[in-house]
Amino acid sequence: MAAKEYLKLLGIDVSPFAIGVHMALVMKGVNYEYIAEDLSNKSELLVSSNPVHKNVPVLIHSGNPICESLVIVQYVDEFFTGAGVPSILPADPYERAIARFWAAYVDDKFFPAMAGIVLVPTEQKRVQKVKETSAAIELLEEAFTVCSKGKAFFSGDSIGYVDLALGSLLIWIETIRRMCGLEIISASKTPRLAAWAERFGETAAAKKVVPEADQALQYGKKLQAAVSAAATSKSK
């Protein structure tokens, strides 16, 4: 790889945001070095590359850091172009705006609600997060119907920007099913998204990048235990 195209990706294996960037890079067919981070002992490279949030993912391109998953995916899409290279965002300005809106909705609304099911300290708050998650996924079911126009993915015939945003969360949707017995995407309530999720899991990018659900399950249990311990300590 030419020096100007040298890429490093800082992430953790089960981070949905890092997974989305991984898949974008795989789709573009570019080589990159993946550096696994330990968020309990953050590297100097991570802290200096993302001094605002000090979090993953970070893409370092020829020494220049780009932070935040959706920003990184847009950057990758705009930089790596050419014959035979798939586009992640639509070419049409209106469709690009719609894709950005729904991807942001996944990140800003759906993900926090879903994560809260595992991470909130009380049952009352957990019930509220389940309600928020159910409402959000029903809205995304409607969005899929409109955006896909009857095709396989949000972006049409192949995975695109919104597909990556939501698809990178599927490993955690499965983890929550195992931990809490809650089916966030189901054939009975969200049949279109259920079929989409199966198709997404069979794509080359997903098969290459997404780790085993057991890995996320172990990580989720550690997070839940940490939250429970913090809540117990606070109540004393």
What is the pLDDT confidence band of residue 4, given thresholds at 50, 70 and 90?
A: very low
Say which amino acid occupies 199.
Answer: R
Structural contact between residues 122 and 228, judged by C-beta atoms closer than 8 angstroms: no
Cα separation, 149 vs 162, in Å, equals 14
Average pLDDT for 62-87: 96
Distances (CA, A) of 60 to 126, 133, 162, 206: 37, 33, 23, 22
Task: Specify the pLDDT at position 176.
Answer: 96
Cα four-point dihedral sign 79, 81, 86, 91: positive
Cα separation, 153 vs 145, in Å, equals 10
What is the pLDDT confidence band of residue 224, given thresholds at 50, 70 and 90?
A: confident
Residue given tokens 């899409």 in the structure block: 77
Res. 55: pLDDT tops 70: yes
Q: What is the percent of the chain with per-residue pLDDT over 90, rounded to a whole number?
A: 90
Cα separation, 149 vs 155, in Å, equals 9
pTM: 0.94
Res. 3: pLDDT tops 50: no
Distances (CA, A) of 201 to 62, 88, 174, 192, 236: 32, 17, 12, 14, 45
Class of domain 93-219: mainly alpha
Task: Specify the pLDDT at position 236.
Answer: 63
Task: Specify the pLDDT at position 172.
Answer: 97
What is the pLDDT confidence band of residue 89, given thresholds at 50, 70 and 90?
A: very high
**pLDDT tens column, 109-128:** 999 999 999 999 889 999 99
Task: Specify the pLDDT at position 230.
Answer: 80
Q: Quick one: which H or E segment has residue 79? A: helix 69-79
What is the pLDDT confidence band of residue 1, given thresholds at 50, 70 and 90?
A: very low
Task: Specify the pLDDT at position 231.
Answer: 75
Domain ranges of the chain: 3-79, 93-219
Average pLDDT for 23-46: 96
Task: Specify the pLDDT at position 121.
Answer: 86
How much is the mean pLDDT over the chain?
94
| Three-class DSSP category at 203 | coil
Task: Specify the pLDDT at position 78.
Answer: 97
CATH superfamily of 3-79: Glutaredoxin (3.40.30.10)
Task: Specify the pLDDT at position 232.
Answer: 74
* Lowest mean pLDDT segment, chosen from 162-171, 175-184, 205-214, 218-227: 218-227
Structural contact between residues 196 and 153, judged by C-beta atoms closer than 8 angstroms: yes
Structural contact between residues 102 and 154, judged by C-beta atoms closer than 8 angstroms: yes
Q: How many helices (H) and strands (E) does the chain have?
A: 11, 4
Please indicate whether residue 223 or residue 152 has the higher confidence score (pLDDT). Answer: 152
